[in-house]
A and B are shown apart, each in its own frame.
Chain A
Amino acid sequence: MIAKPLDESVRLPRRAVLQAAVGVAAILGAAADAAAAPIKVSKASVAYQDQPDGSRRCGICAHFAPPGSCRLVQGAVSPQGYCRLFTAASENG
Chain B
Amino acid sequence: MAKARRSWPQPSSGPSGRGIRSPVRAAILLALLFGLGALSRPAAALPLYARQTGLVCASCHTTFFQLTPFGRRFKLGGYTLGGGTSTLPPFAVMLQPTFTHTAAGQPGGAAPHFGPNNNFALQEASLFTGGRITDHIGAFIQGTYDGVDRRFGWDNTDIRYANAAKPGGHDLLLGVTLNNNPSVQDVWNTTPAWSFPFISPTLSPTPAASTFIEETFAQHVLGLGAYGFLDDSLYVELTGYRSLAKRTELLLGVDTTDDSPIDGIAPYWRVAVERNFGKNSLEIGTFGLEGHVRPLRMFAAGTDAFTDVGVDSQYQWIGDRQAVTFRISWIHEDHDLGASQALGLADRSHDTLRSFHTSLSYTFDDTWELTGARFSLSGTRDATLYGTTNGKPDTSGWIAEIAYLPYMHGGPKFWPWFNARLGLQYTRYDKFNGAGRNFDGMGRNAGDNNTILLYAWIMF
Give the B-binding residues of A (Cβ under 8 A): 1-6, 8-9, 11-13, 16, 19-20, 23-24, 26-28, 30-31, 34-42, 44-47, 53, 62-63, 71-72, 74, 84-85, 87, 91-93
| A12 and B248 in contact, given A31-B136, A92-B85 (Cβ under 8 angstroms) | yes
The answer to whether B299 and A19 touch across the interface, beta carbons within 8 angstroms, is: no
- A93–B50 contact, CB under 8 A? yes
Name, among B81, B245, B416, the residue most crowded by chain A CB atoms within 10 Å (CB to CB). Answer: B245
Does the CB pair A27–B137 fall under 8 Å? yes
Asked if B301 and A1 sit within 8 Å, CB to CB, the answer is: yes
B55, CB-defined interface residue at 8 Å? yes
Closest-by-CB residue of A relative to B134 is A31
Instruction: Determine the chain A residues whose CB is within 8 A of the CB of B350 once the complex forms.
Output: none
Closest to B243 in A: A13
For chain A, what secondary structure do more than half of its interface residues adopt (helix, strand, loop), or is it mixed?
A: loop
Interface range on chain B (Cβ under 8 Å from partner): 35 or more
Chain B residues whose CB sits within 8 angstroms of the CB of A92 once the complex forms = 54, 83-85
* A47/B51 in contact, CB under 8 A: no
Query: In the complex, are the beta carbons of A42 and B137 less than 8 A apart?
Result: no
Residues of A with C-beta under 8 A to B135: 31, 34, 36-39
Chain B residues whose CB sits within 8 angstroms of the CB of A44 once the complex forms: 69, 232, 276-277
Closest to B51 in A: A93
Query: What is the distance, in angstroms, from A40's C-beta to the closest C-beta of chain B?
Result: 7
In the complex with contacts A3-B300, A23-B178, A41-B81 CB distance below 8 A: yes
Residues of B within 8 A of A5 (CB): 297-298
Report which of A23, A26, A87 forms a contact with B54, defined as CB distance below 8 A: A87
Q: Give A24 to B56 CA distance when docked, in angstroms.
A: 31
Q: With both chains docked as a complex, state the minimum distance between the C-beta of A60 and any C-beta of chain B, in angstroms.
A: 14
**Chain B positions within 8 Å of A47 at CB level:** 276, 278-279, 318
- Asked if B72 and A45 sit within 8 Å, CB to CB, the answer is yes
- Residue numbers in A under 8 Å from B353 (CB-CB): none
Would you give the shortest CB distance from A88 to chain B, in whole angstroms?
Answer: 11
Q: How far is the CA of A5 from the CA of B256 in the complex (A)?
A: 13
Q: In the complex, are the beta carbons of A40 and B81 less than 8 A apart?
A: yes
8 Å CB contact of B224 from A4, A20, A41: A20
